[in-house]
Structure 1
Amino acid sequence: MKKRTRRRLQVWGAVAVSVVLVGSAVGRAAGWPVLAAVLGAVLVGGAAAGIWRAHRLAVARDRQWRAQEEARARELTMAEVDALSWQDFEVYVADLCRRDGCTQVVVSGRSGDLGADVVGHLADGRKLVVQCKKYAPHRSVSSQDMQKFVGTARLEHGADVALFVTTGRTFTKAALGLAVRQDIVAVHRDLLGAWAKGARLETLLPLNGRGGGAVPRSGRSSA
């Protein structure tokens, strides 16, 4: 992309110089130096504008390409996560927490844990409680799922930071709204992919459902 941008800039620069030279020659031959100067200035301005537009277009395409490459890299990582069992997924999330400095991290590994699949403490000492939902990539987390975690994360487990992590594409509008109101950090597939690729947990906490994720289809957003 950078080579393409430089090539375009070089072409436009050559065009601008050529136009100025030709315009000046014509102006001298006709005895109109002022007109030639004005014409040259106009053409140089037009060429400069063209160069700037080409540069902005190249930068925009480069950003789009980088975003697509980053998304592909996340999905390659998530393909490995998708192959895990739900038990191994909980262990995987616990390992990510440990990687980012969490201590006393424990995986429940059993049903009836009341939403506390992973429990530990952040590096600053706050208690962390994580609900893990191993869903198919196209699925969304419903408000019913979120309600259950809201009802236990703090009252039952004393969480200072409550994290709802899913391999599903997103959270429904109702689920995300509930998460925001109840201070539950919603980590959908794209955020989980970024976490797995090296993003630190503390950088994900303020996002709470933002940073990607497909918009739920109509008919699913109210659940």
Structure 2
Amino acid sequence: MSGTARRRRRRQLLPRTGGEAVAAVVVLGVLGLALRRLARFLQNLDPYLWPVIFVTAGCAAAVCGTRLVRRRTVRRERARRLERLRMPLHEVDALSPDQFELAIRDLMARDGISARHVGRRGDQAADVIGRDTDGRVIVAQCKHTMFGGRVGSHVMYEVNGTATPVHGADVAVVVTNGGFTRDARSWGDRNGVHWIDRERLRAWAEEGSSLHQVLGLATPASGRPGG
């Protein structure tokens, strides 16, 4: 880790507001009280129970340590897979609509965007919501088709009407493995609703271009690949 990254991490650990400082003092006070009560309990404990306590604590620590290592291993492996993620369009075409939404989430994560899948009934025209390293909120509506269908203008209207007011979007995008009608594309361009059709999806998913590159967005100041 570079010196700049270490300094940034230290700054993130320090309280940034008066509320955070008060919360930190309260937490430290509660922790101190708990430690004092634990010390009193141990002083009054039968000494013959100490070996049992040590063995139990050791076993618990070993179990917790094993789980922690396993979780970190899983997270690192997922991060490595995402960094290498490429999705040929014939694989995208074979996905279900739900799988397509998850694939869009993973592609955003590959590009350094913190993304979550929110698609469900009543999702108000949002299937994936992400935040890039500059703090911009990206809301994606996903339209999967098996037959090269085209997305119409009504989808663009829906996204435009909910992306910012409901989901707080800075960037709204509709993505499909099919196409868009001419009216949908031109309306989106005029009203700030980005669109990713089959060819743009090929560049993003198959060729490895970042979402920012595909949409023509400014690259975040962090300089992370794609985000």
Residue number in structure 1 paired with 2:61:
none
Verify the 8 A CA contact 1:137 1:189 in the aligned structure 2.
no
Q: Distance in 1 between matches of 2:161 and 2:192?
A: 12
Residue number in structure 2 paired with 1:182:
191
Q: Please identify the structure whose Cα radius of gyration is greater.
A: 1
Q: Distance in 1 between matches of 2:145 and 2:108?
A: 20
Q: Distance in 2 between matches of 1:149 and 1:135?
A: 18
- 3-state secondary structure, aligned to 1:111: coil
Residue 90 (1) aligns with residue 101 (2):
yes
Aligned equivalent of 1:193, options 196, 202, 206: 202
Q: Name stretches of at least 5 consecutive residues in structure 1 with no aligned partner.
A: 1-75, 208-223
Verify the 8 A CA contact 1:94 1:118 in the aligned structure 2.
yes
Deviation at 1:160, TM superposition (A): 0.2
What's the CA shift string for 1:125-158, capped at 9, x where partnerless?
1011000001234211101121111111112111
Aligned residues, how many? 130
Residue number in structure 2 paired with 1:155:
165
Q: Distance in 2 between matches of 1:136 and 1:175?
A: 20
Residue 165 (1) aligns with residue 175 (2):
yes
Q: Distance in 1 between matches of 2:122 and 2:111?
A: 27
**Residue identity matched to 1:109:** G
Verify the 8 A CA contact 1:166 1:189 in the aligned structure 2.
yes
Q: Distance in 2 between matches of 1:181 and 1:154?
A: 16
Q: Distance in 2 between matches of 1:150 and 1:116?
A: 11
**Residue identity matched to 2:107:** L
Identity of aligned residues (%): 43
- TM-score under structure 1 length normalisation: 0.56
- 3-state secondary structure, aligned to 1:162: strand
- TM-score under structure 2 length normalisation: 0.55
- 3-state secondary structure, aligned to 1:150: helix
- 3-state secondary structure, aligned to 1:156: helix
